C-alpha cells in the first residue's frame, strides 16, 4: 500500500448505497425443488461439460450428469432425483439470450440423495491431492461469480507454493447479501472448508476479509475461527470493489499484483467464502455442488431475502417462490448490480455462479441520456486499477482497440466504477466490455486463419505428392510395359529361333 | 584555431569513412515485402481476387496493380493489415465485409458427387461418393470456391452463426 493510502485512506473505488438490508436480515428460506430443472452444461469457466446420462435415464440427487471436458472444466450433478427428459438447447442466462446446451431433469419430488456418496470423517488424514480430486469430483467452482474450477485452483496453488490463502467475504456489490447470510448461518462449516483448503494447498495462514458493514458476519466468523490460530478474520473498510481479487490482496497483504500476473505470483490464492462451504460439503459429506445460497432483491421483488435454490431452477420459479413481483421489473439482473448480467427474460436457469437475482423498479434503474465527456476525470479517480477510462473509451469509440490496449485495457476488471461516477452518464465499462470481446474475437480469427493456412498448405503438398506419385507410377508402368514388350519380343524371338532349329535339324537329318 | 579545425576535420573524415564502410558491410538486403504481404493473406488460394492465388495477389498489391482491399474472404481485417504493411491509408467503408461466412450443404439436395470436396482449398468438406457431404465449420473459410461446382445448388454460403462463446457485446451507441 502506498504512503498516500496509509495516511489519507483508500483513494480508489466508490461507495454506493448498499441496499443490503432488510434482505440480509431476513431468515434464509429453502426453495423446494421445482418440477423441472435445467442444468446448463456451460456454467463454469472453460470448456462445457460432456453429458454422461441419456434421455429417459433415472437419476438420484447427486448423481453425475456430465463429465469435465479438458483441464479447465467442471463436472455437473443432478440437483434432484428424477428423470432426464431432454438434453438440448435452452436460453442461456446471458444478456444475448443465445442458446446453451442443458440437461433437463424432471423431479420425482422425493429429493433422494444417491447412495454412493463418498464422505470422509477424518479428512485431514487425506493426501492434499486427494482433497483436490474429491473437490473436482464434486464439481465445485468459485462461488463468487467467476466460476473458475476450484480443484484446479487448489492444485495449482500447491504447485506454485502459495503461503497465504485469502478468503473473500467482502461482498462489496450492493444489494447482495448471500455471503453475509452464509457466514452468519454456517460459519463453522466455512471455517472447516478453509482449513481443508489450507491442507490442500499447503498454505500456512488464511485471512478472511469481511467488509465492516457486516458486523454480525464478522462476529460469527470470529467465534468459529477462534480455536484455529491459522484462520484470522480481518474486517475491511466497506468500499466497492473491495471483493476484486487484486484489491483484496492489496488491502490485506499490502502486496500489489503486477499487471497481467496472477495472485499466485505474489504467493496468495483468493477463494470466496461460499467455495469453502462447498469444499467442506464435498469432503465431509461427499455431496456435490447442486444448490446454492442466492440473494433475491430489488424494488420490484415482493419479499426480498436469501434463499437456498437448486442449480437449474428457472429464475421465474425462484421469483415466484420468493413472493413474486410487485410490478413488472424495469431490469432483471443475474449477479450484482455493478458486474452482473442483465437477463433478457426470466425463463433462464440458476447456475453455480448465481449470487443474486435482482428485479429493479424503473426508479432504481435510473436510465439517463448520455452526454458529452466534460473531462472531469472522476472516472480516473474512481478506477481501482489506476487506468484512464475516459481515454480508453475514446480509443474504443474510434475503433482503435490497439490504442486502448496500449493504455491498459487488458488490466480493466470491468468493475463499473467509472460508469457509476460519470456525471455525463457515459457507459464507459460497456465500451470496455465490447472492446475485450472484440479483441478476443480478433485473436480467435487470427488463430483460425493460421490453422486454415496450415490446412491449405497441407492440401497443396498432398496434391503435389499425389501428382508426383501418379507420374512415378505412370513412368514405372511405362517402363514395365516396355520391359514386358521387350521380353515378349525376346521370347518370341527365341521361340522363333527354337521353332526354326528343329526344322533346321529336321532338314539336316 | 588551426589545431581545432584540423582535429575536427580528421575526426569527421574518419567517422564518415567508418560509417561508409559499415554501411557497405552491414547492408540489409532490400526485402521486397511480397512474402510479408502473402503471410497476411488467408493462404487458401481461392482466386476470388482475380489473381493466381495468394502469392499472385501479394505481388499485385506490392506492385500497386491492386488495392489492399481485394481479398473478399479476408474482409476488413485483412484489408487493414495489408494497408498498414503498405503504409497507405484505406477507406474501409468501401470494403464489403458482411462478417465471416460458412458453406452449408443442404442435405436434401446433395447427391454425393464429390465435386465440391475436390475444389475446397482447405479440405473442409467431407464426404464420399453417393454419400451426403458435410462441411467442417472450423476449417471452412467461406471462400465460395465450392458453391459454383455443385450441380444441384446444394451448397449455400451463409453467415457464420453467432454462438454463446463467440458473442461480442455491441458497442454502445455514441451520444
Residues in B touching A457 (Cβ below 8 Å): 43
Please indicate, yes or no, whether the overall pTM of this predicted structure exceeds 0.95. Answer: no
* A472 has pLDDT over 90: yes
Q: Are residue B106 and residue B130 in the same domain, yes or no?
A: yes
Q: Which of A72, A433, A456, A464 to mutate to test the interface with B (most CBs of B within 10 A)?
A: A456
- C-beta atoms of B164 and A370 within 8 A: no
The residue from B94, B117, B135 where one domain ends is B94
Which residues does B102 contact at the CB level (< 8 Å), separation at least 6? B135, B137, B140, B142, B157, B158, B159, B160, B161
Place of cell 448465481: A354
The residue from B62, B79, B94 where one domain ends is B94
Q: Are residue B106 and residue B82 in the same domain, yes or no?
A: no
Give the confidence band of A506 by pLDDT, cuts at 50, 70, 90.
very low
Task: Give the mean pLDDT of A11-17.
Answer: 90
Distance CA A41, CA A46 (A): 11
| Angle, CA of A369, A92 and A319, to the nearest 5° | 75
* A499 has pLDDT over 80: no
Give the confidence band of A508 by pLDDT, cuts at 50, 70, 90.
very low
User: The domain spanning residue B138 has which CATH number?
Assistant: 3.30.70.20
Would the ipTM clear 0.85, i.e. be above it? no
Task: Give the mean pLDDT of B39-52.
Answer: 84
Closest residue in chain A to residue B164, using alpha carbons only: A98
Determine if residue A230 is left, alpha or beta; phi over 0 gives left, psi from -120 to 50 gives alpha, anything else beta. alpha
Q: Which of A449, A462, A467 to mutate to test the interface with B (most CBs of B within 10 A)?
A: A449
- What pLDDT does B41 receive? 86
Task: Give the mean pLDDT of A16-32.
Answer: 93
- What pLDDT does B11 receive? 95
User: The domain spanning residue B76 has which CATH number?
Assistant: 1.10.15.40
- What pLDDT does A367 receive? 82
Closest residue in chain A to residue B139, using alpha carbons only: A452
Q: Are residue B137 and residue B113 in the same domain, yes or no?
A: yes
Give the confidence band of A233 by pLDDT, cuts at 50, 70, 90.
very high
| Angle, CA of A16, A20 and A25, to the nearest 5° | 160
Which residues does A160 contact at the CB level (< 8 Å), separation at least 6? A264, A265
CA distance A438 to chain B (A): 6
Decide if B41 is inside a domain.
yes
The residue from B61, B77, B94 where one domain ends is B94
* A1 has pLDDT over 50: no
Q: Encode pLDDT of B120-141 as tens digits.
A: 988 999 999 999 999 998 888 8
Distance CA A358, CA A295 (A): 8
Q: Encode pLDDT of A193-202 as tens digits.
A: 999 999 999 9
Q: Hey, what's the torsion of the CAs at A93, A98, A100, A104, to 10 degrees?
A: 70
Decide if B2 is inside a domain.
no
- What pLDDT does A496 receive? 60
With beta carbons less than 8 A apart as the criterion, state whether A449 and A457 touch.
no
Q: What is the DSSP string of A225-252?
A: HTT-TTEEEEEE---BTTTSHHHHHHHH
* A457 has pLDDT over 70: yes
Residues in B touching A451 (Cβ below 8 Å): 138-139
Decide if B14 is inside a domain.
no
Task: Give the mean pLDDT of A311-332.
Answer: 95
- C-beta atoms of B167 and A397 within 8 A: no
Which CATH number among 2.102.10.10, 3.30.360.10, 1.20.1250.20, 3.40.50.11540 corresponds to the domain A125-287?
3.40.50.11540
* B59 has pLDDT over 90: no
Which residues does A443 contact at the CB level (< 8 Å), separation at least 6? none
* A505 has pLDDT over 50: no
Owning domain of residue B108: 101-160
Q: Are residue B69 and residue B119 in the same domain, yes or no?
A: no
Q: Encode pLDDT of A393-428 as tens digits.
A: 999 999 899 999 999 999 999 999 999 999 999 999
Decide if B144 is inside a domain.
yes
Place of cell 474486517: A235
Give the confidence band of A492 by pLDDT, cuts at 50, 70, 90.
confident
Interface membership of A368 toward B (CB under 8 Å) = no
Task: Give the mean pLDDT of B66-94.
Answer: 81
Helices and strands per DSSP (H, E), number in chain B? 5, 4
- C-beta atoms of B171 and A396 within 8 A: yes
* B33 has pLDDT over 90: no
* B14 has pLDDT over 90: yes
Q: Are residue B90 and residue B105 in the same domain, yes or no?
A: no
Task: Give the mean pLDDT of A102-127.
Answer: 92
End-to-end CA distance of chain A: give it in Å, rounded. Answer: 126
Decide if B4 is inside a domain.
no
Which helix H or strand E contains B57, and what residues bound it? Answer: helix B53-62
Q: Encode pLDDT of A370-395 as tens digits.
A: 999 999 999 999 999 999 999 999 99
Task: Give the mean pLDDT of A273-284.
Answer: 96
Q: Which three cell numbers stand for residue B91?
A: 477507406
Residues of chain A with CATH 3.40.50.11540: 125-287
CA distance A71 to chain B (A): 18
Q: Is the peptide bond before A50 cis (omega within 30 degrees of 0)?
A: no
Distance CA A401, CA B53 (A): 31
Decide if B106 is inside a domain.
yes
- What pLDDT does A405 receive? 96
Q: Which of B42, B123, B138 sits opposite A459 (nearest CB)?
A: B123
- Name the range with the highest mean pLDDT among A209-213, A368-372, B115-119: A209-213
Residues in A touching B141 (Cβ below 8 Å): 452
Decide if B29 is inside a domain.
no
| Nearest partner of A248 among A23, A132, A405, A413, judged by Cα | A413
Number of domains in chain B: 2
Residues in A touching B138 (Cβ below 8 Å): 448, 451
- What pLDDT does A504 receive? 44
* A140 has pLDDT over 90: yes
CB pairs under 8 A between A and B: 78
Q: Are residue B83 and residue B106 in the same domain, yes or no?
A: no
- What pLDDT does B31 receive? 57
- The mean pLDDT of chain A is 92
- What pLDDT does B89 receive? 80
Give the confidence band of B39 by pLDDT, cuts at 50, 70, 90.
confident
What are residue B113's DSSP bridge partners?
Answer: none
Q: Which long-range contacts (CB under 8 A, 24 or more apart) does B83-89 make?
A: B85/B33, B85/B36, B85/B37, B85/B40, B86/B37, B86/B61, B86/B62
Give the confidence band of B26 by pLDDT, cuts at 50, 70, 90.
confident
Q: Which three cell numbers stand for residue A313?
A: 431452477
Amino acid at each position: 500500500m502506498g504512503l498516500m493510502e496509509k495516511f489519507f485512506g483508500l483513494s480508489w473505488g466508490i461507495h454506493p448505497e448498499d441496499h443490503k438490508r432488510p434482505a440480509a436480515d431476513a431468515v434464509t428460506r429453502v426453495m423446494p425443488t421445482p418440477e423441472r430443472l435445467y442444468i446448463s452444461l456451460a456454467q463454469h469457466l472453460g470448456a462445457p461439460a460432456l453429458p454422461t446420462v441419456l434421455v429417459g435415464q433415472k437419476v438420484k440427487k447427486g448423481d453425475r450428469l456430465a463429465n469435465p471436458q479438458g483441464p479447465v472444466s467442471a463436472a455437473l450433478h443432478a440437483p434432484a432425483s428424477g428423470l432426464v427428459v431432454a438434453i438440448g438447447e435452452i436460453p442461456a442466462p446471458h444478456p444475448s439470450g443465445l442458446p446453451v446446451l442443458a440437461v433437463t431433469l424432471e423431479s420425482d419430488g422425493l429429493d433422494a440423495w444417491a447412495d454412493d456418496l463418498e464422505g470422509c470423517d477424518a479428512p485431514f488424514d487425506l493426501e492434499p491431492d486427494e482433497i483436490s480430486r474429491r473437490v473436482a469430483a464434486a464439481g465445485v467452482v468459485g462461488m463468487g461469480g467467476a466460476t473458475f474450477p476450484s480443484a484446479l485452483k487448489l492444485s495449482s496453488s500447491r504447485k506454485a507454493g502459495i503461503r497465504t490463502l485469502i478468503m473473500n467475504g467482502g461482498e462489496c456489490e450492493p444489494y447482495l447479501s448471500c455471503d453475509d447470510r452464509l457466514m452468519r448461518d454456517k460459519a463453522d462449516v466455512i471455517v472447516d472448508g478453509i482449513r481443508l483448503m489450507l491442507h490442500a494447498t499447503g498454505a500456512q495462514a488464511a485471512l478472511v476479509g469481511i467488509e465492516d458493514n457486516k458486523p454480525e458476519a464478522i462476529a460469527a466468523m470470529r467465534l468459529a475461527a477462534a480455536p484455529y490460530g491459522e484462520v484470522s478474520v480481518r474486517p475491511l473498510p466497506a468500499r466497492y470493489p473491495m471483493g476484486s481479487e487484486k484489491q483484496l490482496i492489496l488491502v490485506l497483504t499490502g502486496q500489489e499484483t503486477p499487471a497481467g500476473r496472477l495472485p499466485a505470483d505474489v504467493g496468495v490464492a483468493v477463494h470466496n467464502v461460499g467455495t469453502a462451504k462447498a469444499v467442506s460439503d464435498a469432503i465431509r459429506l461427499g455431496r456435490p455442488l447442486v444448490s446454492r445460497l442466492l440473494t433475491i432483491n430489488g424494488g420490484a421483488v415482493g419479499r426480498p431475502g436469501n434463499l437456498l435454490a437448486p442449480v437449474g431452477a428457472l429464475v421465474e420459479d425462484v421469483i415466484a417462490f420468493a413472493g413474486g413481483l410487485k410490478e413488472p421489473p424495469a431490469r432483471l439482473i443475474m449477479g450484482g448490480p455493478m458486474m452482473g448480467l442483465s437477463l433478457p427474460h426470466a425463463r433462464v436457469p440458476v447456475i453455480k455462479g448465481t449470487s443474486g437475482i435482482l428485479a429493479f423498479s424503473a426508479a432504481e434503474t435510473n436510465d439517463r441520456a448520455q452526454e458529452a465527456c466534460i473531462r472531469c476525470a472522476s472516472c480516473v479517480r474512481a478506477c481501482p486499477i489506476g487506468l484512464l477510462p475516459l481515454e480508453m473509451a475514446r480509443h474504443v469509440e474510434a475503433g482503435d482497440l490497439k490504442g486502448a490496449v496500449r493504455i491498459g485495457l487488458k488490466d480493466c476488471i470491468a468493475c463499473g466504477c467509472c460508469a457509476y461516477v460519470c456525471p455525463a452518464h457515459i457507459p464507459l465499462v460497456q465500451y470496455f466490455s465490447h472492446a475485450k470481446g472484440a479483441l478476443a474475437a480478433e485473436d480467435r480469427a487470427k488463430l483460425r486463419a493460421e490453422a486454415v493456412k496450415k490446412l491449405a498448405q497441407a492440401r497443396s503438398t498432398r496434391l503435389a505428392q499425389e501428382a508426383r506419385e501418379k507420374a512415378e507410377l505412370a513412368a514405372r508402368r511405362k517402363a514395365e510395359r516396355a520391359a514386358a514388350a521387350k521380353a515378349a519380343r525376346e521370347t518370341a524371338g527365341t521361340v522363333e529361333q527354337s521353332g526354326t532349329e528343329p526344322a533346321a535339324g529336321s532338314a539336316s537329318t | 584555431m588551426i589545431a581545432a579545425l584540423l582535429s575536427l576535420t580528421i575526426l569527421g573524415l574518419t567517422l564518415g569513412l567508418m560509417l561508409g564502410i559499415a554501411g557497405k558491410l552491414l547492408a540489409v538486403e532490400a526485402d521486397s515485402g511480397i512474402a510479408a504481404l502473402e503471410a497476411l493473406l488467408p493462404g487458401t488460394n481461392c482466386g476470388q481476387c482475380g489473381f493466381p492465388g495468394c502469392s499472385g495477389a501479394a505481388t499485385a498489391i506490392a506492385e500497386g496493380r491492386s488495392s489492399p482491399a481485394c481479398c473478399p474472404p479476408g474482409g476488413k481485417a485483412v484489408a487493414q493489415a495489408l494497408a498498414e504493411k503498405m503504409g497507405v491509408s484505406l477507406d474501409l467503408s468501401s470494403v464489403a465485409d458482411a462478417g465471416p461466412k460458412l458453406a452449408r450443404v443442404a442435405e436434401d439436395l446433395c447427391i454425393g458427387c464429390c465435386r465440391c470436396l475436390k475444389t475446397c482449398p482447405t479440405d473442409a468438406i467431407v464426404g464420399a461418393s453417393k454419400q451426403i457431404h458435410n462441411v467442417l465449420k472450423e476449417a471452412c473459410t467461406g471462400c465460395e470456391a465450392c458453391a459454383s461446382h455443385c450441380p444441384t445448388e446444394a451448397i449455400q454460403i451463409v453467415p457464420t452463426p453467432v454462438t454463446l462463446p463467440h458473442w461480442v457485446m455491441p458497442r454502445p451507441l455514441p451520444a
